[in-house]
Structure 1
Amino acid sequence: MTTEHESPAPQPPGPEFQDRVHRSSGGIAGGVLLLAIILWLGFDAMVSGTGRTPWLALAGMILALPLVIAFTLRPAVYANADRLRIRNPFRVIVLPWGQVAALRSGYSNEAIGKSGTKYQLWAVPVSLRARKRAARQEARAAGAGERGLSRGGRGATAGAGGGASEPIRAQADRFMADLRELQETRENAESAQGEVRVRWAYEIVGPALAGAVVLAILLAVG
């Protein structure tokens, strides 16, 4: 007598990889420094100030802190197999790869939707200095390779033919190249289709507006 074994139910496929995240280390460092200065000056004015000074300091902090966070700590870019999520100072944009027409790098890095709308990637700033430094490193590496070939003769030529090295690029340019490769690979995937979603960052806009209103009232009354 044979016993039939039921095959296990197929498991839903998992994501190909987790979100790849890019944030500006310089922006984070600058934001932490600015926040520390604002908090130090603000609390000092609230404790030692007289008259309207503590209230002006409080209103100024309510206005300044969200803005500093928005432009320094908040920006980030998340990419996975299905979509690109851009967290800018005041908005969050979710772009399925099927809706991305191009990823362009110039004086700023941008994602261009199929509708023609441009979305700047605040978390991936362009550094001309980093590009020049990468170009100098690439030139030095090419020069060193040519000298090695001229000294090594045929042996060096054979060794060099084993594979080409990756070009040296600035960090932001490497990340954009990875995004372009991902977009070209996944733009026609079924799971990478959908509508573009844009959400305003009310958690940033709300406190900043409240601080601005309170500060304006205090200045007008005084």
Structure 2
Amino acid sequence: MDGPKDEVFRSKVAWVFGWLWLAFAAWNTFDLIARGSMPSALIAGAVLGVITALVFLMAMRPAIVLEDGGVRIRNPLRNAYIPWNAIGDVIVTNAIVIEAGRTTVRCWTPQTTARERARASARAAKAASSADASRTDRAVAEAVGTRTHADWVAHRITETGAMRQDASSGETSVTWSPVALAVTAAAVALVAVTIVLS
């Protein structure tokens, strides 16, 4: 029997931007190979490569994954894993912060801005002041309407942790991501090669 399906939370805007950038980078790489001339093509390729590495690390890689045994956090350069029974407080400031004993993990995504929080508060106030809403409807609108995407994800982490306590597996860990380090090393190597050859 299959366990629950993993839930993945990330910035959708960053994810879409990342894929658009990859398409742009692929097209420009083809163009540089087909029509570029040295050393300008090499320099342009290095700039394109470094920006693509940064887009991957900062826009496409970060995510919060709710797994069967715990929550996995992918930040730009590091991975963290916290089993459900180790999760303490889940706090939202401008980012989600998960406390697990002596370990505190700040999640890169999803984040909330002061503007997003102000919009959510305005929506809640508008719904709460609606003339045709009952007192209960207004209270619900006020409580739920002030939530941002980050608030909702934090609530989902807390709720899932409470439901899956018995399914907890593994140990709390925070480690460097081999993929992120490889992408960073490739970008640095590309710059070094460009400096040597140009």
TM over 0.5: yes
Alignment pair present for 1:196 and 2:172: yes
RMSD: 2.8
1:110 Cα deviation after fit? 1.6
For 1:27 and 1:164, how far apart are their aligned partners in 2?
31
Equivalent position of 1:143 in the other structure: 129
Structure 2 length-normalised TM: 0.81
Q: Percent identity?
A: 24
* Cα displacement string for residues 46-75 of structure 1 (whole angstroms, at most 9, x for unaligned residues): 332222233334444443323311211222
CA contact (8 A) 1:46 1:57 kept: no
* Amino acid of the structure 2 residue aligned with 1:219: I
1:33 Cα deviation after fit? 2.9
* Cα displacement string for residues 178-200 of structure 1 (whole angstroms, at most 9, x for unaligned residues): 212333454xx343254113443
For 2:39 and 2:182, how far apart are their aligned partners in 1?
23
SS in 2 for 1:94: strand
Aligned length: 195
For 1:175 and 1:44, how far apart are their aligned partners in 2?
41
For 1:18 and 1:37, how far apart are their aligned partners in 2?
33
Equivalent position of 2:144 in the other structure: 167
1:47–1:83 CA distance, 2 compared to 1 (3 A): same
Please show how residues 1-150 of structure 1 align to structure 2 within 5 Å.
Answer: 15=3, 17-80=4-67, 82-115=69-102, 117-144=103-130, 147-148=131-132
SS in 2 for 1:148: coil
For 1:121 and 1:94, how far apart are their aligned partners in 2?
12
Equivalent position of 1:179 in the other structure: 157
Equivalent position of 2:184 in the other structure: 208
In structure 2, stretches of 5+ residues that fail to align are none
For 2:99 and 2:31, how far apart are their aligned partners in 1?
46
* Amino acid of the structure 2 residue aligned with 1:167: V
Larger radius of gyration: 1
For 1:28 and 1:121, how far apart are their aligned partners in 2?
16
In structure 1, stretches of 5+ residues that fail to align are 1-12, 150-155
